[in-house]
Amino acid sequence: MTSSPLSRRALAVEESATLAVAERAATLRAQGVDVISFGAGEPDFDTPDFIKKAAVDALAKGLTKYTASSGIAPLRKAVAAKLARENGLTYPPEQILISCGAKHSIYNAMQALLDEGDEVLIPAPYWTSYPEMVKTTGATPRPVATNEAFKLGPDALARAITPRTKMLIHCSPSNPTGAVYTKAETAALAEIAAAKKLWVISDEVYEKMIYGGSPHVSIATFPGMSERAIVVNSCSKSFAMTGWRIGFAAGARELIDAMGRLQGQATSNPTSIAQYAAVAAYEGDPACLTPMIREYEKRRDYVVKRLKAMPKVSIDRPDGAFYAFPRVDGHYGRKLKGETIQGSIRFCERMLDHAKIAIVPGIAFGSDAHVRLSYATSMEKIEEGLNRFEAFLKSLE
């Protein structure tokens, strides 16, 4: 048996579960199958017209050449202004790196900070890409269990820290759970992180999507954290710009410079016209987002109400993002056409095969008892999809 020519890093990284579900659903649709997808976390709204116009204007002006690898000056300035205005964070443009989406920013930060032997604490449930990106550095991802509200408490954080711990990942609002940390909860984590000199990646891509609960607060605003936190955000969720691939990181100058050097040797600059569109997004009137947020909240309420009414399904109302993360393990051990369903992977596979609904198994996020549904789709599809979900549960023996 011959050994693989691939590197240990490549062999260690698993496929993105969310992308795999989306691709399988797309394949079935291409075959004419009526599939309703609750899989990928992508807004179903269109990018606002004034943002698209900025891209068209950039094309008309011939702004289609290479830009500075770390991003155009107007965009770095616009991001700095946004952070000051909305988040109470003071980062000059030189401490901001524009990348090809928030995922790219997180990857850059990990590559710049982590070495083999380091450990990264990841509150579980977690976004499926976090541990896989850690693996590419040679460091070790260490999931840390959260409480019943899917939040990491200060005591749990303190217990998890070892001499090898170098980084904590903090995501609020959370993917996949929709949990939103309060100011006091965030302050408690910040105090420990600062005292232990941990780097903290603060993933804030869902900051606009909070529904009546605690307002968003960045962990970087607390004492000792402005230089220890890497604030990551993007245009993708807030402005429905997933395909434009524009994200940013803000942090300590030495770190941002290192991330910029890595990016310069990997991708170079993000797409020029997308950067000019992002300038318009960050400088535009945020009121354009209000209808989208209200619609998400309406969908959230409907999804939670329907799921709560289903037998052996439990869910608390998420305060942010656009995901529901119900517990469904009460149905494990039941049978479908003679086959016993065990675990979230088989549950989701059979849901897709028999109910034609695409959802993501919770094991990909660190909890096999749950599944994730994205309600970033039309209310019509949500209603029909949940009808199919309920019918599937009733068909189990």
Residue 24 lies in a domain: yes
Instruction: Write down the pLDDT at residue 2.
Output: 55
Give the Cα separation of 182 and 308 in Å (integer).
25
Q: Do residues 65 and 193 share a domain? A: yes
Q: Do residues 149 and 264 share a domain? A: yes
Q: Do residues 210 and 295 share a domain? A: no
Instruction: Write down the pLDDT at residue 1.
Output: 42
Instruction: Write down the pLDDT at residue 14.
Output: 85
CATH code for position 124: 3.40.640.10
Instruction: Write down the pLDDT at residue 3.
Output: 78
Q: Do residues 171 and 262 share a domain? A: yes
Instruction: Write down the pLDDT at residue 21.
Output: 76
Count up the domains in the chain and report the number. Answer: 2
Final residue of a structural domain among 287, 315, 334: 287
Final residue of a structural domain among 287, 315, 343: 287
Q: Do residues 201 and 337 share a domain? A: no
Cβ(282)–Cβ(81) below 8 Å: yes
The helix/strand count (H/E) of the chain reads as 13, 14
- The helix (H) or strand (E) run that includes residue 347 is helix 343-350
Cβ(393)–Cβ(331) below 8 Å: yes
Q: Do residues 25 and 168 share a domain? A: no
CA distance between the termini of the chain: 44
Range of 297's domain?
8-46+289-395
Q: Do residues 93 and 28 share a domain? A: no
Tens of pLDDT along the chain (397 residues)? 457 899 888 888 888 777 777 788 888 888 988 999 998 789 999 999 999 999 999 999 999 999 999 999 999 999 999 999 999 999 999 999 999 999 999 999 999 999 999 999 999 999 999 999 999 999 999 999 999 999 999 999 999 999 999 999 999 999 999 999 999 999 999 999 999 999 999 999 999 999 987 899 999 999 999 999 999 999 999 999 999 999 999 999 999 999 999 999 999 999 999 999 999 999 999 899 999 999 999 999 999 999 999 999 999 999 999 999 999 999 999 999 999 999 999 999 999 999 999 999 999 999 999 999 999 999 999 999 999 999 999 999 9
Instruction: Write down the pLDDT at residue 93.
Output: 98
HSE, side-chain direction, 13 A CA sphere, residue 54: 19
Query: Which of 137-149 are b and which e, b meaning 16 or more Cβ less than 10 Å from the residue's Cβ?
Result: bebbbbbbebeee
Closest C-alpha among 189, 190, 165 to residue 114 = 165
CATH code for position 378: 3.90.1150.10
Q: Do residues 23 and 36 share a domain? A: yes
- Residue 330: C-alpha distances to residues 193, 293, 341, 342, 371 (Å): 37, 32, 11, 10, 12
Final residue of a structural domain among 220, 253, 287: 287
Distance of CA 300 to the CA centre of its chain: 17
Q: Phi and psi for 73 in degrees, rounded to 5?
A: -60, -45
Q: Do residues 168 and 199 share a domain? A: yes
> 323-324 and 335-336: which strand pairing?
unpaired
Residue 3 lies in a domain: no
Among positive and negative, which fits the CA dihedral 10, 11, 13, 16? positive
Residue 112 lies in a domain: yes
What is the residue whose two structure tokens read 């009414």?
309
